[in-house]
Amino acid sequence: MAALWDTTGTEVVRELAAARRSDGVTSGLVLTLVAVVDEQPGQTTPVKAVEDAATVAAAAHPCRLLVVTRSPAHEAPDRLDAEVVVGGRLGPCEAVIMRMQGRLALHAESVVMPLLAPDVPVVAWWHGPPPPQLGTDPLGVVAERRITDCAQADDPVAALRQRAVDYHAGDTDLSWTRLTGWRTLVAGAFDQVDEGTVVQRASVAAPANDASGALLAGWLAARLGITPELTDPGTGRVESVRLGLANGDEITIVREGSSARLHQPGQEDRVMPLLERTLGEELAEELRRLDADQTYAAALSAATGVSGLERRPATRVHTWVDPAEVAVGTVGHHEVMM
């Protein structure tokens, strides 16, 4: 491990190479993960949470982790601090944790680009409220896969809608990843219904401001061609899914702590595991596939009413936004601000 204070990008590259030589190399790197944890005024930087999650995810997908913390301030002098960790506390992950200040913070890619592992995919992950337009962040442009987390926005459902507006193939959101357990249960329940069964009604009990609940309803809508009803259970998370069949029967899946009770007509109720996963495990699922997630795009489209997502290109083009303008409130070409 080496800490570099008030350093340069070149120095960081040199230190990473030296650390790889002396501390042992993670051979077989699968990808580079760029974690963006921009500081919010009045909040402590959640770099620790990012490190913990990346360590778990790296156990399944060995990666180079580049953590970028930016605090752009015009008055502040340009400054780069970096820490290089190879084969240390982050397990199989080799990491560079960087903090950038001043105008340098607007050009983070100039430090990050030379640190990307050669010829392996780049994944960008915003740990924090998603930026309205990923194309305005140069780190989002170099990445093939872009992971956001609408649950961290002030208004998650509005943030989700903005994700649809701004969608490009290769985007995903952790509020979708968190649904895999639910979706497995619902699809599993549906494996056992008879041929030709038609679902007429569906209802999802999830908080009105929950992005995962909206996506779950969107997924059912996209797959079954119905419009599920959303009801707020008042508990702050997804609680149940009910599917009304044409013959009047109902399939219900209701959360009971860390399990779910599955009720199907003509069968005894069963209790299935419904696991709460850690951020690291969710991230590991995200990194499993690096191609576009069409099922997510369809669910996102149905959840937000924004159409044509499947025709969006997979590459992003950088849009320059002058931070000075944003600071004084001129929104420019942003379609929706949160």
Q: Which residues bind another protein (CB under 8 A)?
A: 26-28, 30, 58-62, 91-92, 177, 180-181, 183-184, 186-197, 220, 223-224, 257-259, 262, 264, 267-268, 270-273, 275, 284-285, 289, 293-295
Name the token pair of 34. Answer: 């760029």
Strand partners, 173: 148
Shortest reach from residue 50's CB to another protein, in Å: 19
Shortest reach from residue 172's CB to another protein, in Å: 10
C-alpha distance from residue 141 to each of 9, 58, 237, 242, 314 (Å): 19, 23, 33, 40, 10
Helix (H) or strand (E) holding 279: helix 279-288
Shortest reach from residue 36's CB to another protein, in Å: 24
Return the half-sphere exposure (C-beta side, CA atoms, 13 A cut-off) of residue 257.
1
Name the token pair of 241. Answer: 């899914």
Which residue in the block uniquely carries the two structure tokens 């299935």?
Answer: 272
Of 284, 205, 296, 207, the residue nearest 252 (C-alpha):
205
Of 190, 206, 207, the residue nearest 198 (C-alpha):
190
Is the Cβ–Cβ distance between 115 and 66 less than 8 Å?
yes
The b/e string for 149-177 (b: 16+ C-beta within 10 A; e otherwise) is bbbbbeebbbbbbbbbebbbbbbbbbbbb
Which residue in the block uniquely carries the two structure tokens 């699922």?
Answer: 285
For another protein, the closer of residues 9 and 181 by Cβ is 181
For another protein, the closer of residues 310 and 335 by Cβ is 310
Name the token pair of 213. Answer: 């609940």
Shortest reach from residue 298's CB to another protein, in Å: 8
For another protein, the closer of residues 100 and 292 by Cβ is 292
Shortest reach from residue 164's CB to another protein, in Å: 18
For another protein, the closer of residues 188 and 332 by Cβ is 188
Is the Cβ–Cβ distance between 239 and 261 less than 8 Å?
no
Of 270, 203, 194, 302, the residue nearest 243 (C-alpha):
203
Shortest reach from residue 114's CB to another protein, in Å: 24
Residue 109 has a CB neighbour count (10 Å cut-off) of 18
For another protein, the closer of residues 30 and 147 by Cβ is 30
Shortest reach from residue 99's CB to another protein, in Å: 28
For another protein, the closer of residues 151 and 185 by Cβ is 185
Shortest reach from residue 215's CB to another protein, in Å: 12
Give the separation between CA 230 and CA 184, rounded to whole angstroms.
20
Residues written for the chain: 338
Burial class of residue 123 (count of CB atoms within 10 Å of its CB; 0-12, 13-18, 19+)? buried
For another protein, the closer of residues 111 and 297 by Cβ is 297
| Backbone dihedral angles phi then psi of residue 133, each to the nearest 5 degrees | -130, 115
For another protein, the closer of residues 9 and 218 by Cβ is 218
Is the Cβ–Cβ distance between 63 and 57 less than 8 Å?
yes
For another protein, the closer of residues 79 and 223 by Cβ is 223
